[in-house]
Amino acid sequence: MPKMTFIKPDGTRQEVDAPLGMTILEIAHRNDIDLEGACEGSLACSTCHIIVSEEDFERLPDPTEDEEDMLDLAYGLTRTSRLGCQIEITEELDDLVVTLPGGSNNMML
């Protein structure tokens, strides 16, 4: 089974199983990792914003225009920012490393 690593805002690393077909948001919730996902993965917010490692960013499929629009609202946006609800794990993403930003912009409140 593929694995992935979350780097929390305090710098601690947590490696978890990353079942094929699950999104990063689903994997975070399954492992009690604090990644909000206020819209429950419906691409209506940016609270599942993650920062993908430079080394792994090129392995990801390109974001959709809708994802790019939502990313504009994300807290701490970077060049390698993505939404965790939009990335499904594949064999090619084994050992993916993502960082959780130190906050989020929740427009759903």
Half-sphere exposure (Cβ direction) of 90: Cα atoms closer than 13 Å: 7
Query: What integer pLDDT is reported at residue 8 of this predicted model?
Result: 95
Query: What integer pLDDT is reported at residue 65 of this predicted model?
Result: 97
Query: What integer pLDDT is reported at residue 106 of this predicted model?
Result: 55
Say if domain 3-99 classifies as CATH 3.10.20.30: yes
Radius of gyration of the chain (CA): 12
Domain ranges of the chain: 3-99
8 A C-beta contact, residue 53 and residue 80: yes
pLDDT of the chain, 109 residues: tens digit per residue: 999 999 999 999 999 999 999 999 999 999 999 999 999 999 999 999 999 999 999 999 999 999 999 999 998 999 999 999 999 999 999 999 999 997 655 554 4
